[in-house]
Amino acid sequence: MKRFASPVLAALALTTALAGPASAAQAILPGYWESTNRLLSPIRTTDVEKRCITPADVEKFMMGPSNRHYTCTYPTRSFADGKILLKGTCVSKKGRQVAVSGEGAFTPTSFNLTANIATTFAGIPLSGKASTEARRIGDVCPPKDADTSE
């Protein structure tokens, strides 16, 4: 079931202002980040991830959750005044579509998002709720060969 939640939870990070990329004053800080990703329904799962966000990655990171399992687009996205709003669709490599809508809050060193997700499986509609809480845990990332998974 982790794949079901992945488009929402990769995030750790999200969106930009509707008109374009977030300004430096309205962005997360680069560094070493830890996120706790939870699928709240229909099945409960929790995944903790640590990742390095370089200065070059900040804008992409804030464009909305995507990961190696899903490619996501968010026609509605706002990342301004400490608030997050997004609505879009993620598509798996096998073509499964997942509708995503969520809202939350951010600071330069923290991020939280609660999202509703909807898809179909074998023609049966499925919906769920997921959340991500992330925090910056360091200015500097560990060397790339260090084990950062938990």
pLDDT in tens, 76-96: 988 889 999 999 998 988 888
Task: Work out the burial of residue 77: count CB atoms within 10 Å of its CB; fewer than 13 is exposed, 13-18 middle, 19 or more buried.
Answer: buried
Question: Rounded to two decimals, what is the model's pTM?
Answer: 0.71
Query: Strand, coil or helix: what is 91?
Result: strand
Which phi-psi region, left, alpha or beta, contains residue 82 (left: φ > 0; alpha: ψ -120 to 50)? left
Give the per-residue pLDDT at 26. Answer: 65
79 alpha-carbon distance from chain centroid: 13
Q: For residue 27, name the pLDDT band (cuts at 50, 70, 90).
A: confident
Q: Which tens digits make up the pLDDT trace of 100-128?
A: 999 999 999 998 999 999 999 888 999 99
